[in-house]
Structure formats: structure tokens, C-alpha cells
Structure 1
Amino acid sequence: MTKKQWQGWGPGEQAEQHYLVQPRALAGGGDVRHISEFLRASGWRDKSTPGGPLHMESPGRSVRVAYDPYVLPGGWTIHGQADGVGGEWSAHLGRQTPVEIVAGLTDALNRPRSAHAPNVWAPLQEQNWHMSVEGEQNMATSPDGAAWMQYHQGADGSAMWWTGAQDKQGNGWTANFTPNTPMHLVQAFSTELAGPDPVMRPRGRVPHSAQIRTWSVSVKPSQLSAWQQARITAARAATWARNSARSTRPHTTARPYAPASGARTRR
């Protein structure tokens, strides 16, 4: 064990400089493990190859989450198979989409749907985003003008969600959701997109932008580990609760009664 490793544990650990970045939409991509570790703790299979892009598969194999930084334009792809509720869908998010915002969608994949009808615009309106309507296009823009969310319906009835953020130097990201993307997932994304809280980035990973505000903070490795572990623990607890509920749920479909002789009775 090296001295450097030892200093990362216990009372002798050294604090490291990090930065709180606001607005979060311009904070840069962040640590991919924020998403991948949560999915693993939620029972997802890691199908990634060593040294290759991230590739996660849901327990029921109906949804795939991938992150590939090695191709252009690269970024996130979330793909869902058709089910009894809706058709096949996908979401594509650029590499610089903050992981905290991407996690709004990916975390929601592991939660039951709310009984309330989803409203993508509500979280944006709560944070005083500017709303506008032009023909078949609805658009919301953040108060600082850096981020947007747009809904457009074509003449053929097809619909598309398009969103992103960009500073005055042209740095940023875009994302889009195909028409069949479940609305509760798009709402979960918009909630994190509009979130007012800053996000944390380590020194050297803060974007060079005149439109962000930063605050320097000293963080111990044990604190970072504790925060990450709390998120993982919450995912495991929620997964255990769901699995327990399924295993204890009574069977509601009774097997039809067959007479001992095997003959069927007529009504």
C-alpha cells in the first residue's frame, strides 16, 4: 500500500479541490459512473467489453443504455423495446450532457410509473422558464437563455422532443427523444434539466465558459465515497423492495378446475 493510497482513508486523508457549477446544464458531462453504478445496483447487467463503450441491459432485457465517447458525435443512447403500452423508442444525448441530467431519465427506468398523467412542461414552468408556442412547435427556454426544450409535431402526425444547452462560445450539447418515448421519462429528464441546484466537478473538469458560475469547495475522498455509496444503497433498497413485493404478491389467476375423469363440462 502506498502512502498516497493510505492518505485517502481515515483521519489522515487530504481534502481535494472541487467546484460547484451553475447552471447545471453547462457543467459538462461528468463521471459516467454516476449512472452506471446506479444501474448495476438496480439489477442491470453490464454487457460492456473491456476498454470499450458502456453497455447496460435492464433486468427484463427490454431497455438498453449505452455510452460511447469513442465515435463522433458520441454520447448516450437509451433504447426501449415495444411493449403492450407503447412502441419501440430511443433517446440520444450528446457527450456533454451532464450525467445528473441524464440520470433523471435512467433513474426513472427503475421506478414505477406515477398514477398521475406526466407533464413535461410542469418542472420547467416551476423554475420560471419562458414558454412559447409557434404553430405546431412548443418551446421552453431557461431564464438565462442557455437551455431549451422543444416539442414539434410534423404534418404527418409524427412528434419529436428536442432539447439542449449552449453557451455563447457555442459549447454545449443536444438531445432528442423519438415519438414513442414514454412521457414520464421525458418529464423525469426535464425535471433534472431545470433543477436549480449546482452540480460538482473536480478541478480540471470545469468547462471554460463565461456563462457558468463556480464555487470552490474542499472535499475529502471519504465524503465523495459516502455520497456515491448513499446513491447505490438507495438503488439496492428500492430494487429489493420491488422484488419482495413481486414475490409476495398473491396469484390472482386461478387454474381452471378439471374433473378427475378429464372430461370437460358444457355450459
Structure 2
Amino acid sequence: MNHPHGFWAGWHDRPQQHYLIEPRYLAGAGDLRHATEFLRASGWKEKPKTGGPLVFHNPAKTVRVVFDPLTQPGGWTIESKASGYQPAWAAKFGIQTPVEIIAGLTDALTQPPTAHAPNVWAPLSQQGWNTRQGQHFTAMSPDKSAFVQFHQSSPGQAHWWIGARTEHGRAWDAEFSPTTPLSLVQAVTTALADPQPVMRPRGAFPPSNRIRTTSVSVRPSELGAWQQARLNTARTAAWARNAWATARPRGGKPATAPQVPAGYAAGRR
């Protein structure tokens, strides 16, 4: 029996069961492309290595993002060379760190630095996290499943740890070198404390009685559209940065800011 082409197109776009997971820090790793495709769309280059870890470099080749699922314990390493007044720094995340929290840091690396003084604790206090002063200064999530710890062993030696736990034990951990810019640590705590749930396919999140799940039906085309909108945001920003760098004169009158093409801007709506 012959079926029209539209039948097959509709068949492949049938709704699939997904789950909205809360809190996001217990949702499991997720799809790493949420972070890596944004980097690629922002102009970062992948260093291909057959059978090896995923490695991305920023256009200036001063920062690299590595995802290594093969070596123990595996996970993410984000590190930067020394540049100007900023010393080298590194951040490491366990392999089960939700990719949305990784993207808090990696997305921030694609943005120009802000003029605002960073405040690592502000996103946590805004979401009702509890703080206490002991051997370490600690912020704990309301459900006591996630934490942020700070300890200064000596001047200039500020250590940061972030992690999450379930009734089964450790879910994931992250640590930051003392030289990590506070704006980047704040980008992580912002993503960590975000009350918005994250989406996972059926069977793609760890079992825990500490998570809340909401079943939703999502068409592949809808998922693709959401992902494309996120990538369009990255491409628009990268295009604007490149155009500004190209248009800026070396001397004399400053150039006007470039106009973003209408086709790019549409993807941000």
C-alpha cells in the first residue's frame, strides 16, 4: 500500500514522552550537545581526535573545554591560559553534572565580560538557599541536596566546591581553582539555582525520590526548533562581535555598532 509523503513525515514527528525534572541539579547529565553546539555556533573550534575526548578552543585559543567520558572519573574540564592580568585557571565537573549547569559556565565564556561586580551568592539567596559559617562558608539548597562551599586558606587562595547528593549518595561534584574569575563561578551558581525544570527523555534521568517529574509529550520538530533558537542566539552574538571587530578603526573616529541582519535577529524571538 502506498502512503503519501506527508504520512511518513507526520509519523516521524509523532509526539514522544519526555519529563520535566526538578530540581535541575538532580536531573542527570543530559545531552552534552546543549553545551558543545552552543560553543560551535559561537565560533569555537573542535579539535577532532578519534576515540579521544571532545576538545573545543575559543577563537583566541586561550580557553579550552574538554569532555572526557573515557578516563576515570571522567567529566568536564574547562581551563584557561594566563592572559593579561588574569592568571591561568581551571574548573572541573563530574560526568553526571547536568549539562545545563555546565552551559552556565561555557555560555558565559562566549560573552564579553560585564562591568558589574560579581556576587556568587546572590543567585542562591534569591532562591532561598540557606547559608552558614563554619570551617567553610556554605550555601545549601532548600531541599539540602545541593551545596556551594567557599574556603579561603590564605590571601588569594579562595577555593570553591559545588555538588549535589541524593539518597543514593554523591550525584556530582565541581571544583574551581582559586584563580577562576568570580563572574564565571556566579554563572554556575545562577544555572545551579535556576528554578526552571530541565527536560529529559524517558529513562534518561537517575532514580531518586528527591526529584519531581512532570510527563510531557514533545514532537521532535518542537525540540529541534527550541535547539535552533538557542543556536541562533549564539550565532547572532558571534556575528555581531566579528562585525564590530572588523568595523572598528585603528585610529580616529570610532565606528558605529554594526546592524544585525534581520534573518539572524528573527531566531532570537
Partner of 1:104 in structure 2?
Answer: 104
Partner of 2:168 in structure 1?
Answer: 169
Partner of 1:83 in structure 2?
Answer: 83
2:28, 2:6 → 1: CA distance?
A: 31
Partner of 1:236 in structure 2?
Answer: 235
2:9, 2:42 → 1: CA distance?
A: 27
Q: How many residues align?
A: 250
Partner of 1:28 in structure 2?
Answer: 28
RMSD across aligned positions (CA): 2.0
Q: Cα distance, 1:46 vs. partner?
A: 0.6
1:225, 1:160 → 2: CA distance?
A: 39
Q: Does 1:178 align with 2:177?
A: yes
Residues 126 and 250 (structure 1 numbering): CA distance in 2 closer, same or farther, change over 3 Å? same
Contact 2:21 2:214 in 1 (8 A): yes
Q: Cα distance, 1:252 vs. partner?
A: 3.5
Give TM-score, length-normalised by structure 2.
0.88
Extract unaligned runs of 5+ from structure 1.
Answer: 255-267
Opposite residue 103 of structure 2, the aligned amino acid is A
Q: Cα distance, 1:9 vs. partner?
A: 4.1
Extract unaligned runs of 5+ from structure 2.
Answer: 254-269
Contact 2:20 2:200 in 1 (8 A): yes
2:237, 2:9 → 1: CA distance?
A: 29
Sequence identity, in percent?
53
Partner of 2:69 in structure 1?
Answer: 69
Partner of 1:148 in structure 2?
Answer: 147
Q: Does 1:251 align with 2:238?
A: no
Describe the SS at the equivalent of 1:103: helix
Q: Does 1:94 align with 2:94?
A: yes
Q: Cα distance, 1:28 vs. partner?
A: 0.3
Cα-to-partner distance string for 1:176-224 (whole Å, 9 max, x where unaligned): 0001111111111100000001000001102111110101111100011
Partner of 1:50 in structure 2?
Answer: 50
Contact 1:9 1:222 in 2 (8 A): no
Describe the SS at the equivalent of 2:169: coil
Partner of 2:267 in structure 1?
Answer: none
Q: Cα distance, 1:68 vs. partner?
A: 0.6
Opposite residue 127 of structure 2, the aligned amino acid is Q
Cα-to-partner distance string for 1:42-93 (whole Å, 9 max, x where unaligned): 0111103234321111100000000011111100000101011210100000
2:8, 2:94 → 1: CA distance?
A: 33
